[in-house]
Structure 1
């Protein structure tokens, strides 16, 4: 009999497993239908010996010191600030759009103040910002919307931005200065030995058992457990009772080239051309020294593993029907992207999992199996050289 069965070995499931095992002294079984832990953040050495992210680039960034402190128990960090270029009108320019983007595209020499006025002159007034198209057009005008957002969004989501909730394009800012960092969070870094090694350390507690290649639907009646944490797709938990929640998926094509570098930054977006949305070159992220380089091409798809909830009003209404069922489940907690049908960054998932643990701890009180809580030192191993 396990105290907890946790479905999913990604950030949400792994953080909760570690907290329940180390802080409450309870026995936890973590299962995952894939062959590995780490969820979509899983990384591995490819055939060339280059560390790649199996499911596309995962860049860790946060403003939450508590999240950094928690994860630092299981990894050292390699400082890294993410920069992205977009291929637009045949040239590589910074994205998010900034002062250099506009000056290069249009052969101008605007200042920051002049760029703000330039944007304002092209912006289209919109009474109510409802869609992703509204967000962009009302801020910087239709021409830049067409160059950078419409084609990319249609590839990524299979829908026009006018059909998507405003949150999709609102995530990408527009700047009037020369800051070319993709994120501006106070902490930006990569796990020094990779994400998978971090997850392995997180799940190494003697109270935690891990079972991969394990499907919850097939095993749920055969694993004795007192309580359940579910991080999978909420509609699947309920047998698709109200129909399937739509997701966008991705197809990844990994390749290795006999050259030291392929592109000037880790990620190049293709908003105007190509069937793929972006190319990632991992050595920029990891700092690995290797005579070859490995890339991933991302092709959005309607079929495959669920990655991105599709943000429309209809889909949110369908999720709410499942959420009402979830709230009525005794001794079951639904946590994470798939279980709450919402896109979260990695740090947000960690924060959500830590907050869920605190609620569980308060709700259940001290477990009879509780152990004392010695302070756990931060992991301070020296930064390794990835083989």
Structure 2
């Protein structure tokens, strides 16, 4: 008999498993249909001995002291600030997100102040009565040319939809800067786990109260395992057998390559915003990990309509469909829905950790610990 069955060994499931096991002293079984722990953040040595991320690059960044402190129990860190360049159709490389360097290089200008760059943006910005879509966000800030150059093609590839058909939240994630800051993120804490993500997850799950079963599908074991309560981190529509229909997701295909050279590109990730190539970006892991190796490994990312669910598609009709599943989830006793797929939100890793820690606090308030339950039953008898 387990106190908890946790479906999914990614950030949401692993953070909760450790808390339930170590703080509450309860027996936890963690299952995952994949053959490994760590979810999409899983990393491994490839055939050349280079540490790669099987599901594309995962760069940890957060402004949350609580999240950083919590994960620091299970890993040491390597300081890393991610930088991204966009390769245009003519081969030009410019910083992404757009900054002063991008504007100057693209337009053969020599703007030197933030005010000058803001004036450049303002002169090209389009008046939008109500900012509703991802296109609205960009054209109202920097105008049509920069939108066409950096956002339209990339978004069409990534989401299979034009930015005019997507919620404003998609392009709102990417800032536009008037200074020369070329970091992709500006969070207080920007690090990579020193020994990799998989090692961090392994330490999180090594508690004696935790049993881990990978290569295990929930449908195959739900009637064979005994458990009191459950944490579900998979797709919420799958849990309810797609009662209202499938929630739309975008998937990815990863093409991993190893090259017999020390470096492949100048930064960790190069974006390809144009539709002349099918992939959206290429990432080189040695930039992220600091590994020293005579060869280098990279990953090409090609968006796909079918495959593992990675990104909830932010459109009003999808949000409405999720609300139907959310109502079912809220009414389901003894099951807690946590994570990007279970709550149909486009969360970063640190946001998932924060959600898991907040969920644990709610569990602590609402659910008697197993020993307390047993004592209460004995007293009643």
2:6 alignment counterpart = 6
Instruction: Determine if the alignment matches structure 1 residue 334 to structure 2 residue 360.
Output: no
Give the drift of 1:183.
0.3
Structure 1 residues 327-364: Cα deviation after superposition (integer angstroms, max 9, x where no partner): 01011100000000011010110010001001101112
CA distance in 2, matches of 1:360, 1:90: 53
Instruction: Determine if the alignment matches structure 1 residue 238 to structure 2 residue 253.
Output: no
Equivalent residues, number: 370
Map 1:238-277 to 2 at 5 A. Answer: 238-272=240-274, 273-277=276-280
Instruction: Determine if the alignment matches structure 1 residue 287 to structure 2 residue 290.
Output: yes
Give the drift of 1:285.
0.2
Structure 1 residues 288-318: Cα deviation after superposition (integer angstroms, max 9, x where no partner): 0000000000000001000000000011111
CA distance in 2, matches of 1:289, 1:76: 18
Does the residue aligned with 1:6 lie in a helix, a strand or coil? strand
CA distance in 2, matches of 1:312, 1:223: 38
Q: How high is the TM-score relative to the length of structure 1?
A: 0.95
CA distance in 1, matches of 2:68, 2:115: 36
Does the residue aligned with 2:324 lie in a helix, a strand or coil? helix
2:75 alignment counterpart = 75
Give the drift of 1:113.
1.2
1:99 alignment counterpart = 100
Contact 2:41/2:197 (8 A) holds in 1: yes
CA distance in 2, matches of 1:90, 1:107: 16
Q: Which runs of 5+ in 1 are unaligned?
A: 371-387
Does the residue aligned with 1:356 lie in a helix, a strand or coil? helix
Give the drift of 1:180.
0.2
Map 1:1-387 to 2 at 5 A. Answer: 1-88=1-88, 89-111=90-112, 112-272=114-274, 273-368=276-371
Contact 1:163/1:312 (8 A) holds in 2: yes
CA distance in 2, matches of 1:340, 1:217: 20
CA distance in 2, matches of 1:157, 1:259: 33
CA distance in 1, matches of 2:281, 2:287: 15
Contact 1:12/1:350 (8 A) holds in 2: yes
CA distance in 1, matches of 2:291, 2:330: 46
1:383 alignment counterpart = none
Q: How high is the TM-score relative to the length of structure 2?
A: 0.96
Structure 1 residues 260-295: Cα deviation after superposition (integer angstroms, max 9, x where no partner): 001000000000131100000000000000000000
CA distance in 2, matches of 1:364, 1:215: 27
The CA RMSD measured in Å over matched residues stands at 0.9
Give the drift of 1:59.
0.3
Contact 1:229/1:333 (8 A) holds in 2: yes
Structure 1 residues 229-260: Cα deviation after superposition (integer angstroms, max 9, x where no partner): 00000000000111100100000000100000
Contact 1:26/1:369 (8 A) holds in 2: no
Classify 1:200/1:289 alpha carbon distance in 2 versus 1 (closer, same or farther; 3 Å): same
Give the drift of 1:106.
0.9
Give the drift of 1:369.
7.1
Q: Which runs of 5+ in 2 are unaligned?
A: 374-381
Contact 2:3/2:370 (8 A) holds in 1: no
CA distance in 1, matches of 2:64, 2:368: 27
